[in-house]
Amino acid sequence: MSLLQIVFRSLRQHLLSTLITSFSIALACGLLMSVWVVKEQARRNFTEVDSGFDGVFGAKGSKLQLVHNSIFHLEASPGNLTWEQYELIANDKRRVKTAVPIAVGDNYRGYRIVGVTKSLFEVEYQVGKKFEVQSGGYVFRSDKKQAVVGSFVAERLGMSIGDKFHPYHGLVFDEKEKHAEIYVVSGIMKPTNTPADRVIWIPIKGLQNMSGHSVETSSDVSAVLVKLQGNTHGMMMNQEYNFQGDVMTFAWPIAKIVAQLFNKIAPVEMVLSGVAVLVAFVAAGSILASIYNTMNQRRRDIAIFRALGARRRTVFSVLILEATGIATFGALAGFIVYFVIMSTASWYIRSETGIVLDPFEPQWVMVWAPLFMQCLGALAGVVPAAKAYGADVAENLIPNA
């Protein structure tokens, strides 16, 4: 009978405690992997999402708020720009390749309605990929009350081409704030796995002139998304608008601004990671406790092993391997916990931000976290193994010794 067979039989003999301890290891390992993957993928995906633009112009204020509002469709707009300011930017052909104005302020059942020009659909949001509508639909006509619905919104609200809806005023859904206008869905956007999936796109003029909106600001825009002719222009415009000018804010480059947010919350990430590691140690402690608590029952078994010729190092190895076995089993089950947590987390993050996390994407944490748990498990086995190593054979062969 090999050492592994002996270990397997011991695990089988203490099946209930093996399962309970493995479950705690699985929770710890799954949590550890989830925290790491969410952290890594969220940072990477958020900083990579620029919707194909280099920068954003908006009212004087926070660059981060401007990016959140115009790229991620989160938070309120920091203020408006006039149509003239938009034209000034758009006509700067030497430096600005594309300028897309957007206007926000309405929603439909909690999902934002964003007024935009059709030029949005000419921009590549990723290399080689443009915003497109699914077959059977088309991009709204600028002079019609038509809408292109993001894929996530369509899926969540069950909207399809030809459906009609009333926009609601404000960014938070309130039944009392219904606009009189009726919009018709002209197309459903193909999934992009970007925040654009969570938005209902309508012609910018439609949003600006929505009933109940102020007439004085009816030509204002919330932000202007720009694609530049080159990077050096970004630096020049950053200097020009953010340091010398006092009229507009130029959020550039988008990735760097989002990264600043993650740098700010880095201590929180660290605390989360620390807690996850701590949970792993607690779970390893549960291995120690579960084996140690059964040492009284095991003493006689160990003495019998020794009486049959097993050496001290053999019984030591059996207990170390048993602890490692529990950790290994738990770590493998941890992948199930990981997929459950990640499925929930990615669904929630997608519904709140439009950012898609991929639980199946290979990550180094999926290698080192299970190995880490195995090492901790082996380490946790040292104390009971040492006790087994030092156990007196003759004394423990006697029943109820």
Partner 1 sequence: MDVSSYLKIGHLKLIIFLLLLGINNLKKSFLSSDGSTQEVINVPSFSMESGQQIALSGISGSGKTTLLNLIAGILQADEGQIKLSGRSMSGTSESVRDRLRAQMVGYIFQTFNLLQGYTCLENVLLGMSFGDSFDKNRAVELLGHVGLTQRLDYYPRQLSSGQQQRVAVARALANSPKLVLADEPTGNLDPENAAESLSLIRQTCKEHRAALLLVSHDKAVLDQFEDVRDLSDINQGGGKVGAE
Is 390 among the residues that bind partner 1 (CB under 8 A)?
no
Is 1 among the residues that bind partner 1 (CB under 8 A)?
yes
- Cβ closer to partner 1: 144 or 311? 311
- Region near partner 1 per CB under 8 A, out of 56-64, 169-177, 308-316, 317-325: 308-316
Is 9 among the residues that bind partner 1 (CB under 8 A)?
yes
With CB under 8 A, what is the number of residues at the site for partner 1?
26
Which of 6, 32, 288, 373 is close enough to bind partner 1 by CB under 8 A?
6
Nearest to 173 by CA among 157, 161, 189, 191: 157
Residue 4, class by beta-carbon neighbours within 10 Å (0-12 exposed, 13-18 middle, 19+ buried)?
exposed
Is 310 among the residues that bind partner 1 (CB under 8 A)?
yes
- Cβ closer to partner 1: 368 or 389? 389
- What are the strands, taking DSSP E only, across 69-158? 96-108, 111-116, 124-126, 129-130, 146-149
CA–CA gap between residue 149 and residue 158 (Å, rounded)? 11
CA–CA gap between residue 397 and residue 265 (Å, rounded)? 59
- Cβ closer to partner 1: 12 or 93? 12
Report, in Å, the least distance between residue 304 CB and partner 1.
Answer: 5
Q: How many CA atoms lie within 13 A of 248 on its CB side?
A: 25
CA–CA gap between residue 115 and residue 394 (Å, rounded)? 86
Alpha-carbon radius of gyration of the chain: 30
CA–CA gap between residue 369 and residue 335 (Å, rounded)? 10
Whether 60 contacts 79, CB under 8 Å: yes
Is 16 among the residues that bind partner 1 (CB under 8 A)?
no
Is 238 among the residues that bind partner 1 (CB under 8 A)?
no
- Cβ closer to partner 1: 223 or 318? 318
Report, in Å, the least distance between residue 301 CB and partner 1.
Answer: 6
Is 130 among the residues that bind partner 1 (CB under 8 A)?
no
Q: Which residues bind partner 1 (CB under 8 A)?
A: 1-2, 6, 9-10, 12-14, 300-301, 303-314, 393-394, 397, 399
